[in-house]
Amino acid sequence: MSGAKVAVGDSAPGEYTITFTEAGQAAVRGPGITRLTDVQMLVEDHGISLAFGTTLPTHLADLLDVAVAAYVADRLCLRRPRSVPRADAESLWQRRMTVRLPLRDPGAWSTERCRRVEALLGFLTDDTWNLEFTQERPKFRLSETQGSLFQYIPVGDVTSSLLSGGLDSLAGLTTELAKHSARTVIAFSARTNRRIGIYQRDQVQALIARFGPRLRHIPVTIRLKERAAGEYDREEPSQRTRGFVFQVFGAVTAAIGGVNSLHVYENGVGSLNLPYSASQLGAQATRATNPVTVAMASELVSDVTGQPFCVCLPHQFNEGGDVLNLSRPAPSGSHAAHHLLRQFSSAVRRCASMRYLSVVPFLKTESVLGRSP
């Protein structure tokens, strides 16, 4: 967050109003602050339209803007404001968020659809959301204006998935490609920083080396830009809307590619994400891939697109080791998956969140897929 404080807000702790301009700036009013931030969201989604030789239709562009606005608001509004005494701040978690956003076609966002989004965001974040849409033209993105002479919509056996750069998504995607030799998979990746982008790139290169063009990878950069040094540390760290943004972008990518489902390769334990202790309440344990979240996301995308759409958890009844074992060659592999993990464990690199792994050596092991390079 940047921009000088120009006045003192009179909002109660945890109560925020975020108004977005046509240029994408966010005016934030909350406890102790009233400011127009210089922060803007960098969304390089033209990769979606270019991948299929088409442009992004209005209703899907608006859906992406709603998701991005929620994500920006979530990051800029602290659950425990610095203006609140520390003794009181410890008990704060829930916020009241009013978001005002210009859309291309706000008339298409009925009260029912709007309430659907608010309910989904409320379940994800434990906050109370109020969304207000105005009839203003947001800044055009290349995805809406730069088409192509020919379309490249895949045909035949096609599915779509998220590829985060983590082990769960890699194992799930590897299994999908290995078990279905004629299947094309559209894999969407959100690149929120350069480091995660490197992990995703390495994994995609290894997968394409194994499976060729059956993997169609579509990366999109989604991050805040023009921030001063150290601003990240002043933002809300929980960022519970990340899962919403990724699923919406993945679903839009799938819809543009003619697919009516999105696979999220989270295992059952990670999906439920039960609290670690009795002091962890509600969304303090992330609900990004909770079955309720993906069901609500499926309903929202179906409503916006006018077609049945499903955000699926193919491995919701498996543990992490089970998913890895699914990648073993039939009828019996030469090694179990946990032995393969030992082979590359010395080369594992972890990011700051300790969740992303460089697992390229896992893919380069012949026994994973049952054939030599």
Q: Could you give the domains of the chain?
A: 15-145 (no CATH), 158-369 (3.40.50.620)
List the structure tokens of 29.
């009013």
Percent helix, strand, coil in the chain (nearest 5)? 40, 20, 40
The DSSP code sequence of 270-294 is HHH---SSTT--GGGS--TT-HHHH
pLDDT at 232: 59
Task: State the burial class of residue 77 (Cβ atoms within 10 Å of its Cβ: 0-12, 13-18, 19+).
Answer: buried
- Contact present, 270 and 177 (Cβ < 8 Å): no
Which residues of the chain have a pLDDT value below 50? Answer: 1-10, 330-373
C-alpha distances (whole Å) from 212 to each of 225, 286, 365 are 34, 35, 17
Q: What is the structure's pLDDT at 329?
A: 53
3-state secondary structure of 129: strand
pLDDT in tens, 118-147: 999 999 999 999 999 998 776 678 788 877
Residue 305: closest CA among 63, 142, 43: 63
209's enclosing H/E stretch is helix 194-211
DSSP H or E stretch at residue 116: helix 111-125
Decide: 35 and 129 in contact? Cβ < 8 Å. Answer: no
Q: What is the DSSP letter of 166?
A: B
Tokens (6 digits) for 239: 């960022």
Q: Is the peptide bond before 106 cis (omega within 30 degrees of 0)?
A: no
Q: How far is CA 298 from CA 161, 190, 237, 247, 305, in A?
A: 14, 19, 27, 9, 11
CB 12, CB 194: distance < 8 Å: no
Biggest CA-to-CA distance, the chain = 69
Supply the pTM of this predicted model. Answer: 0.83
Rg (CA), the chain: 21
| pLDDT at res. 166 | 84
pLDDT tens-digit series, residues 90-106: 567 889 999 999 999 99
**Residues 311, 255 contacting (CB under 8 angstroms):** no
pLDDT at residue 353 in the model: 39
Q: Could you tell me if residue 350 is left (phi over 0), alpha (psi between -120 and 50 degrees) or otherwise beta?
A: beta
* pLDDT recorded at residue 333: 38
- Residue 69, pLDDT score: 93
CA-based torsion, 7, 11, 13, 14: positive or negative: negative
